[in-house]
Structure 1
């Protein structure tokens, strides 16, 4: 996916967050508070999108997004490339797919090297690949057994491009990511380990799917304002809880899915529930 990303077939099961009406802003059994310092609140011409980012997977990309957001860089920028069944891309000040910020490019973080203490909630361990979650982000990784034969005693892990995943666009150079990013409208595993995946849409996947289509769209939708959740006054913040993927409640969801008779499941098969509280 270059700064002008080519269309790729995108067929897969949705990984949209489930919105559940709440009655009070309090810690619920099996749920956790959203990570305010690493969450973006993206107000668009179609509605609000809230994306949690994971420095465990891509610390430099997360930091870049927060830096540009706090500069007000993203306010008013267009969704210049929106492809049905694939993704919605933005973050270009030129609105053409050819622009970037004035900051240096960010090195690729397609995969990370993890040790046995890496915080992954495992849901499947078959065929030599471990599938699980880092918070609400579906991930895959090599098995722990390989740590005994690797030079650094670590193995590779990477984010999955499920529906709602946040990824960073780049040009042909793998280290050319800068300011453009995209949100997945559907699952597309072709992007995995080729583009940095580092966040998940918690609220507003329906908004992402309503954005005007086109390359570029006619009269494109825009990001009217983008904020880091932690920077919004507490009384004005959207109140969100996310099911803890390490909880017994989430494990019960996984077991229920397995009882449906599927040979194996991935994080794209089991949406992480989200409560939006009044």
Structure 2
């Protein structure tokens, strides 16, 4: 088990294969952290697929509008939540293996609910996408997520919870 230092800023993503534990970086990107916790607490991320998984790059999920694993995921990756988009919270933190980045459209201030987990160091993303968390346990589960754009049979987040609520 990962040592959870701050349960209020730790996310537990339940996959069919096990649990991914993510430490959120509230001191670095407080608005992105708040958004993930708000959506997790509402159940918005439950049953959402990994719609874009590029081997050697990253696994993307979090389209709470179009990404539910209900057979209607054809538009997954095109939506967000009903909440307003977030302003970028760029920092000096690098996009290292296991970091969580805010997915967005071409506008830096268009992140909403989608996020990605880096499979490897992707430093070319530094300063362009908000880093707001890191996997502290379960990176082997992330590495095993079904690849594809979109995957033919995508993996999904069964649930996402804030550790202090679990």
The verdict on a shared fold, with TM-score over 0.5 as the criterion, is yes
Q: Matched residues in 2 for 1:109 and 1:81: separation?
A: 23
- 3-state SS, counterpart of residue 19 of structure 2: strand
Give the match for residue 84 of structure 1.
55
Is the Cα–Cα contact under 8 Å of residues 69 and 227 in structure 1 kept in the other structure?
yes
- 3-state SS, counterpart of residue 88 of structure 2: coil
Is the Cα–Cα contact under 8 Å of residues 80 and 217 in structure 1 kept in the other structure?
yes
Is residue 20 of structure 2 the alignment partner of residue 49 of structure 1?
Answer: yes
Please state how far the C-alpha of 1:45 moved relative to its aligned partner. 2.4
Is the Cα–Cα contact under 8 Å of residues 46 and 221 in structure 1 kept in the other structure?
no
Give the match for residue 164 of structure 2.
230
- 3-state SS, counterpart of residue 8 of structure 2: helix
Give the match for residue 181 of structure 1.
115
- 3-state SS, counterpart of residue 37 of structure 1: helix
Is the Cα–Cα contact under 8 Å of residues 4 and 10 in structure 2 kept in the other structure?
no
Alignment partner for residue 106 of structure 1, among 83, 86, 96?
A: 86
Post-superposition CA distance 1:195-226 (Å, at most 9, x none): 00011100000000000000000110000011
Q: Matched residues in 2 for 1:82 and 1:162: separation?
A: 17
Q: Is the alpha carbon distance of 1:33 and 1:99 closer, same or farther for their aligned partners in structure 2, counting shifts above 3 Å? A: closer
Give the match for residue 38 of structure 2.
67
Please state how far the C-alpha of 1:33 moved relative to its aligned partner. 4.7
Post-superposition CA distance 1:60-91 (Å, at most 9, x none): 00000000000000000000000111110000
Count of residue pairs the alignment pairs up = 157
Please state how far the C-alpha of 1:227 moved relative to its aligned partner. 0.3
**Deviation >4 Å, runs of 4+:** none
TM-score scaled to structure 2, two decimals? Answer: 0.91
Is the Cα–Cα contact under 8 Å of residues 62 and 114 in structure 2 kept in the other structure?
yes
Q: Matched residues in 2 for 1:202 and 1:37: separation?
A: 15
Taking the TM superposition and a 5 Å limit, the aligned residue runs for 1:108-127 are 108-111=88-91
TM-score scaled to structure 1, two decimals? Answer: 0.55
Where structure 1 has 5 or more consecutive residues not aligned to the other structure, the ranges are 1-18, 21-31, 112-157, 233-278
Where structure 2 has 5 or more consecutive residues not aligned to the other structure, the ranges are 68-75
Larger radius of gyration: 1
